[in-house]
Structure 1
């Protein structure tokens, strides 16, 4: 019996050693670093210091270059591990976020709520007045700010989700009963502006952009409001959200709202929070579709990852378990203008190979 117990002990110790060896060093208790609000200083960490595989770096960079990327950043605990630019892009070049910028609108809505200007459970018309859709008043009054955050307004997508004038916003279902990807979320910018009695740009710059040292600006693209910035500014926002809305010792966005943003917001599309996409759920819907698919959106990526995804493969990936933020900006990876494509799966195979 003693020999049997001894053998079990050896097996247990070997298994423990193997687990420690394979555990990525991104799970350390190292403190989170935040770059200064101004200037170009940003602490870095090397691939070697993390125990990652140097020979996996070049295949990743080759793939990014092949897939029309313009920039790529990996942060671990806030420190830059990789920062690469392609095809003439540079650290000082602005690029558009496309729908990845929806998360900026969600964040500023939460800031306005924590400052007492609005309540996300209240109806949209409380702030911008009745008649902002073509719905009968009783149906329009069902639509709350939270429905816009969760993409469950019930409004018909008659112009590919682009137009948001009243005539284009028609009834499809009662609010809260149908998930559909739609640019009507942009009405939250009007809600914030009316509630705070400030312009959207002024409130955004004061309460978010300038507090974490971002650059960039909003511009109109059709009926949509789009943000453009440097890649490091996108990384700053990713770092803020990965730290649950806190920048160093300053609460920019409260933790409760940050957590709600990064968790399922309704029971129709489990993979959607407050304008954030969620990996690792049992099922998901895709933009422009009412089909439900089983499994995780990006099977090769960590299950706890949440994402800001934009047209032509603009990406913010946040992985809490690895204390990691990954940014990709560029043109469409496969000449398809979808926010989500097979590019994500292969990219994460390449990233996984690092560790």
Structure 2
């Protein structure tokens, strides 16, 4: 395990460094300026944990738990500043790792950006952009599916056949809007964006999100018609910081507030703990990936009720907690058994985190 709570480490992976902007403070209700790292480097302001009135005696049990549970990196930001930054099992600040389904939130964000630029409307039919026959459904059923249904996991397409999003595998299960099912068909939004903008998905992503907030990383192919984002931990933290600030980076509103708010609040009445590809804590019920059961209560009872989350396979995590002005990142291998997004690890991890921050 390598501790670097207060260490400043330059990082440049793939096209990491953008070409403008200096750090810009932004006032928040706690009267401490919100900090954003410079876009041109990975120098990052830190805050000493001893100034936080946290329970420092609980820090080492948290770190031991993270290492025991196959973590590779862990970071806590408060008001944008790094309070904890830890690397385990040979991972470093410059090592890229996959986001898995936590990267769905990148696609949701890019959909909102493309809409605000006038390229698409989330209420339009997907076939308006991809043409008819992008599924194997009867045309009348295919025409029910809108971009919003892909954002909310309510396409009605059969989710039983894994990651394959070829037309042959996209088969009718229910009318769009009547069934929530965790499904990789959301990736078709990347094709919608490419068709609508006349650019490749990655070029548009780089220009409108990656570069404006100084992220590094790249999309790597993962099976047919799927790609997964890989980046360093600090780049994942940059995206979490953008989310903490309601889509604003320094003085630039990268994604408009109205869409951002819709993205991070319940998007339909079936799974109340799901927005536009973001998971939401503190709601009265939830659904899990790969089931049609409704569970009562909130997703993570040990976590803050206002928390919203990007959750990926094998416990890739971005936790955003507005009430605490906090972003928490966890990257690594599966804590216990392989999982799709949510796992019992979330609840156990938040017991350990709460012991520190409360």
Fold conserved between structures, TM > 0.5: yes
Which residue matches 1:196? 197
Match of residue 75 from structure 2: 73
Is the Cα–Cα contact under 8 Å of residues 158 and 168 in structure 1 kept in the other structure?
no
**Maintained 8 Å contact 1:281/1:296:** yes
Give the aligned partner of residue 49 of structure 2. Answer: 47
Alpha-carbon distance between aligned partners in 1 of 2:149 and 2:34, rounded to the nearest angstrom:
33
Max Rg structure: 1
Cα deviation, residue 54, structure 1: 1.2
Aligned with 1:211: secondary structure? coil
Give, in whole Å, the separation in 2 of the partners of 1:307 and 1:195.
Answer: 28
Partner SS state of residue 87, structure 1: coil
The Cα of 1:40 is off from its aligned counterpart by 2.2
- The correspondence for 1:286, drawn from 266, 284, 288, is 288
Aligned to 1:258: 260
Correspondence 1:344-355 to 2 at 5 A? 344-354=346-356, 355=358
What's 1:31 paired with? 33
Match of 1:97 in 2: 99
Q: Counterpart of 1:209?
A: 210
* Larger helix proportion of the pair: 1
Query: Matches of 1:305 and 1:158 in 2, distance apart?
Result: 30
Structure 1 residues 180-329: aligned runs within 5 Å: 180-223=181-224, 224-329=226-331
Gaps of 5+ in 2: 1-27
Question: Residue 27 of structure 1 contacts residue 321 of structure 1 at CA under 8 Å; is this kept in 2?
Answer: no
CA deviation map 1:278-328 (0-9, x unaligned) = 011000000000000000011100011010000110000000111110000
Q: CA deviation at 1:336?
A: 2.4
Number of matched residues? 329
Report the CA distance between 1:30 and its aligned residue: 1.1
Moved more, 338-347 or 281-290: 338-347
CA RMSD of aligned residues (A): 1.0
- Alignment match, 2:138: 136
Partner of 1:119: 121
Q: Deviations over 1:68-110 (max 9, x none)?
A: 0000000001000000000000000000000000000000010
Does the 8 A contact of 1:260 with 1:273 survive in 2? yes
Deviation at 1:27, TM superposition (A): 7.2
Question: Residue in 2 aligned with 1:145?
Answer: 147
Shift of 1:207: 0.3
Distance in structure 1 (CA, Å) of the matches to 2:320 and 2:29: 14
Contact 1:318 1:325 (C-alpha < 8 Å) held by counterparts: yes
Structure 2 CA distance for aligned equivalents of residues 98 and 157 of structure 1 = 18
Checking the alignment, whether the CA contact within 8 Å between 1:27 and 1:322 is kept in structure 2 is no
Any unmatched runs of 5+ in structure 1? 1-25
Query: Runs (4+) of structure 1 moved beyond 6 Å?
Result: none
Equivalent in 82, 85, 101 of residue 83 of structure 1 = 85
Residue 138 of structure 1: how far off its partner (Å)? 1.0
How far residue 187 of structure 1 moved from its aligned partner, in angstroms, is 0.1
CA distance in 2, matches of 1:348, 1:171: 38
1-structure distance, mates of 2:145, 2:339? 30
